[in-house]
Amino acid sequence: MSRNYRAQAGLAVHGPGPWRNRGPLTPAPSGRRWWARVIDAIFVLFCTGMLIGIALALTGINIVSLDAATGVALASYPLMALVFGALYGCTVSPGQVLCGVVTLKHSGRRVGFWRGTTRYLAVAFFPITAVLLIWTFFDAPTMDLDSIDVYDRRAPPVW
């Protein structure tokens, strides 16, 4: 029997889930899982706001230029989503600690850096993507179904 048999067998054979600290873990209630995500979102927004506030305060006292503060403001939200996604994937995020849950694969291992960061980035940018899609739909002057043609910009040959 392979060492990975327990992960391959699933819940039907070996009980509730992965084993940690010499005991099986049971699935967390749905409410605690959602509250962990909400708390993580609050942490992401709070840390983003703090970075933007510090950058604007430093701009106000002429330590940093307005362009640098704008760069910080634009980069802080994706950066915080990456940081908290890495915490989610590799260790535990603050929301998970406060709610007493942990996200693991069925084998009992952590989710991993790439899965955690892509999950948090996808969740972080979904509202922005939805707003841009709706904005594009309503901002379109007409909804014509004219075909789009591509033309050659060079002068036509002279015969």
Q: Is 57 part of any domain?
A: yes
φ/ψ of residue 2, rounded to 5: -75, 160
For residue 7, pLDDT beyond 60: no
- Judge whether 111 lies within some domain: yes
Q: Is residue 119 part of a domain?
A: yes
Specify the range with the lowest mean pLDDT, choosing from 50-54, 71-75, 102-106, 137-141. 137-141
Looking at the domain assignment, is residue 2 inside a domain?
no
- Give residues with Cβ within 8 angstroms of 159, minimum separation 6: none
- Rounded to the nearest integer, the mean pLDDT of the chain is 80
Can you give the residue range of the structural domain that contains 100? Answer: 28-123
Torsion 58-60-61-67 (CA) sign = positive
Contacts with 146 (C-beta within 8 Å, 6 or more apart), sequence order: none
pLDDT at 18: 65
Which own/partner pairs from 140-149 qualify as long-range (CB within 8 Å, at least 24 positions apart)? Answer: none
**pTM value?**
0.67
